[in-house]
């Protein structure tokens, strides 16, 4: 049996959105951690260190393994959300200057709308399409530079990564979870499957692991524990309670978070145009939630049957 992941309504909806939004906000710190703490030019090794240790740790904690049809589903979700997404994300970041990769990643909500039509039979929502366009425009103002040059392979990688992540998000909601399996175990399955997918690629393409100092070890620990294990658990948990397309719109917060962290921690400039872009991107994120929030169904009290008391 499979545990349903039908989105809930009620007072917990906003709280669930807020917790889920922490994931892309944390993901926004990845750029600063990568540039300031980790060895350069090792995208596959970094992706591997983010995914596999976190996945194995969650498997050890939950002590639950996929069975039956869920072996294939866990592998598919792991490849979509982790194994393919991580390498494509880093490839785009290395080949696309000026934040172009961030703009391509912001297209993920648009892909999610399309996949939701196919896999969840959700009709396209004009307001959500508008919200997605607003979000992409806002992110572009934040991260794009006038002299940014496009690299064909980088653009393909960025768009493919956004599509894989969007498909994984939608399929996570479609398939739900096996009966009795919580989001922590499902997260562990995906991270482990994705990490095992990346492992041979990292070995073949990048060779032996680089030498690590204390600074790099600390960076990898942060990415594995906070940026991956905790963040993806909150993401998977959110997908079980909130429409997948609404969750996808929260991804717009990642480049916004990266820009703010770069401004505060790395001294990167944010001019009036970038500030306006931040506001527009946040507006697109908020509008995406308002356009997709399920309407509360009024509860009608059942009629009270008269109780006949025998006469005394």
Residue 10 domain flag: no
Looking at the domain assignment, is residue 154 inside a domain?
yes
CA atoms of 68 and 1, how far apart (whole Å) = 11
CA angle in degrees (0–180, nearest 5) for 98-100-105: 140
Q: Could you tell me if residue 310 is inside a domain?
A: no
| Dihedral pair phi/psi, residue 128, rounded to 5° | -70, -35
What's the Cα-to-Cα distance from 116 to each of 195, 236, 255, 306, rounded to whole Å? 26, 16, 23, 48
CA 224 from chain center: how many Å?
A: 15
Tokens matching residue 18: 């807020």
Whether 187 is covered by a domain: the verdict is: yes
Q: What is the arithmetic mean of pLDDT over 291-303? A: 49
* Cα separation, 84 vs 164, whole angstroms: 7
For residues 191-212, average pLDDT: 96
Q: How far is CA 237 from CA 17, 22, 32, 72, 211, in A?
A: 10, 12, 26, 20, 36
- Name residues whose C-beta falls within 8 Å of residue 308's C-beta, 6 or more positions apart in sequence: none
Do residues 16 and 242 make contact, with C-beta atoms less than 8 angstroms apart? yes
- pLDDT band of residue 306 (cuts 50, 70, 90) is very low
Global pTM value = 0.85
Is the separation of the CB atoms in 218 and 101 below 8 Å? Answer: no
Question: Residue 216 falls within a domain, yes or no?
Answer: yes
- Confirm if 195 and 52 have CB atoms less than 8 A apart: yes
Structural domain boundaries, residue 52? 21-291
- In a 3-state reduction of DSSP, which class is residue 209? coil
Determine the pLDDT at residue 312. Answer: 43
Q: Each residue of 3-40: pLDDT tens digit?
A: 555 445 556 888 999 999 999 999 888 888 888 899 98
In a domain, 137, yes or no: yes
Structural domain tally of the chain? 1
Q: Is residue 93 part of a domain?
A: yes
Which residues does residue 177 pair with via DSSP β-bridges, in sequence order?
3
Q: Provide the CA 118 distance to its chain's centre, in angstroms.
A: 20
Confidence category of residue 2, pLDDT binned at 50, 70, 90? low
Quote the Cα angle for 75-80-81, to 5°.
100
Confidence of residue 295 (pLDDT cuts 50, 70, 90): low
Cβ atoms of residues 182 and 5 within 8 Å: no
The answer, yes or no, to whether residue 304 has pLDDT greater than 60, is no
Mean pLDDT, the chain, rounded, equals: 85
Q: What are phi and psi of 101, to 5 degrees?
A: -60, -35
Percent of the chain with pLDDT strictly greater than 70: 87
Kindly tell me if the per-residue pLDDT of 88 is higher than 80: yes
pLDDT at 310: 44
Judge whether residue 302 has pLDDT over 50.
no
SS3 177: strand
Closest CA to 28 of 253, 268, 265: 253
Q: Count the neighbouring beta carbons within 10 Å of the beta carbon of residue 256.
A: 26
Summarised one tens digit per residue, pLDDT across range 230-270 is 999 999 999 989 888 889 889 989 888 888 888 888 887 77
How far is 64 from 231, CA to CA, in rounded Å?
Answer: 20
pLDDT of 217 > 80? The answer is yes
From CA 65, how far away is CA 205, in angstroms rounded? 30
What is the per-residue pLDDT across 136-182, written as a single tens digit (0 to 9) for each? 898 888 877 756 667 888 889 889 999 999 999 999 999 999 999 99
Residue 302, in any domain of the structure: no
């Amino acid at each position: 049996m499979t545990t349903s992941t039908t989105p809930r309504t009620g007072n917990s909806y906003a709280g669930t959105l807020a917790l889920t939004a922490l994931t892309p906000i944390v993901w926004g710190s990845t750029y600063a951690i990568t540039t300031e703490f980790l060895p350069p030019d090792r995208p596959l090794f970094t992706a591997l260190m983010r995914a596999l240790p976190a996945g194995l740790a969650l498997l050890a904690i939950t002590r639950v393994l996929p069975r039956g049809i869920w072996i294939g589903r866990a592998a598919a979700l792991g490849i979509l959300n982790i194994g393919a997404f991580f390498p494509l994300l880093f490839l785009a970041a290395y080949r696309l200057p000026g934040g172009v990769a961030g703009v391509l990643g912001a297209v993920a909500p648009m892909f999610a709308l399309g996949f939701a039509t196919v896999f969840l039979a959700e009709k396209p929502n004009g307001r959500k399409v508008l919200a997605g366009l607003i979000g992409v425009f806002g992110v572009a103002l934040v991260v794009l530079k006038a002299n940014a040059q496009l690299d064909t392979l980088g653009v393909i990688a960025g768009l493919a990564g956004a599509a894989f992540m969007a498909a994984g998000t939608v399929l996570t909601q479609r398939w739900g979870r096996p009966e009795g399996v919580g989001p922590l175990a499902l997260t562990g399955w995906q991270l482990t499957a994705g990490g095992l997918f990346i492992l041979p690629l990292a070995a073949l393409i990048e060779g032996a692991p680089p030498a690590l100092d204390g600074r790099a070890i600390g960076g990898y620990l942060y990415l594995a524990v906070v940026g991956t294990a905790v963040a993806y658990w909150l993401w998977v948990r959110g997908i079980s309670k909130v429409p997948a397309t609404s969750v996808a719109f929260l991804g717009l917060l990642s480049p916004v978070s990266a820009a703010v962290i770069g401004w505060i921690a790395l001294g990167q400039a944010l001019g009036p145009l970038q500030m306006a872009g931040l506001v527009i991107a946040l507006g697109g994120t908020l509008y995406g939630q308002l356009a997709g929030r399920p309407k509360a169904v009024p509860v009608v009290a059942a009629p009270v049957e008269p109780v006949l008391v025998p006469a005394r």
